[in-house]
């Protein structure tokens, strides 16, 4: 019986012996350079998240990798309402547009490329558009959102002579073009979250 007990003690001793562990390497986060639907879906399936941008951006930042996986296809397939745009074009003189968006936000990923397609057709100068990306709390490190009451993104703010005419919040009431026409022509317009 003593032999059996000694055998169990010896087994327990060797089984619990502290083995020297080699450290596991930190996972390497690869940059997403997806440009095809297949790569995009692989990225989604793998659960890879794109970096969240904050602050003032230029359009090219969200139109190129890694953000082109949502910007490019959405921009390409959007067909702007040319008839409404013809009515908007003369109203864009001296209008500035401030866009607050989240690179993490599906609504922003849908609406912002469409909006840029509209501004391209209208030939609105890039200098008249300010693009500000926010984090998930709708904030920037520089507090660029202060004074603009950003509750949802995207928010498209139309300004003339430094004063806000109105805004489209998160999604248009009718369509981006028709909402823009209402705002720029001075019609009564209430965005989706207006009380």
Q: What is the pLDDT of residues 38-85, one digit of tens each?
A: 223 233 434 568 899 999 999 999 999 999 999 999 999 999 999 999
- N-terminal to C-terminal alpha carbon distance within the chain: 85
Q: Which domains does the chain have, with CATH numbers?
A: 52-184 (3.40.30.10)
Q: Alpha-carbon distance 98 to 157, whole Å?
A: 5
In the predicted model, what is the mean pLDDT of residues 3-9? 51
Q: Alpha-carbon distance 129 to 59, whole Å?
A: 9
Q: What is the band of 130 on the pLDDT scale with cuts at 50, 70, 90?
A: very high
pLDDT, residue 90, reads 97
Higher pLDDT, 84 or 7: 84
- The whole-model pTM stands at 0.76
């Amino acid at each position: 019986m003593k032999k059996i007990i000694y055998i169990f003690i010896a087994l327990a001793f060797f089984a619990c012996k502290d083995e020297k562990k080699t450290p596991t390497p930190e996972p390497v986060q690869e940059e997403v350079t997806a440009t095809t639907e297949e790569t995009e879906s692989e990225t989604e399936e793998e659960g890879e998240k794109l970096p969240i941008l904050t602050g003032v951006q230029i359009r090219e930042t969200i139109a190129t990798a890694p953000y082109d996986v949502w910007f490019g296809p959405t921009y390409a397939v959007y067909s702007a309402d040319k008839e409404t745009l013809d009515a908007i074009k003369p109203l864009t003189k001296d209008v500035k547009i401030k866009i607050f968006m989240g690179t993490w936000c599906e609504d922003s990923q849908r609406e912002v490329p469409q909006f840029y397609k509209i501004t391209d057709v209208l030939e609105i100068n890039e200098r008249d558009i300010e693009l500000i990306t926010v984090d998930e709390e709708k904030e920037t490190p520089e507090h660029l959102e202060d004074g603009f009451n950003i509750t949802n993104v995207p928010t498209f703010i139309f300004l003339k002579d430094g004063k806000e005419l109105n805004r489209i919040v998160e999604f248009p009431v009718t369509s981006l073009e028709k909402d823009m026409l209402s705002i720029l022509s001075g019609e009564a317009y209430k965005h989706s979250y207006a009380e």
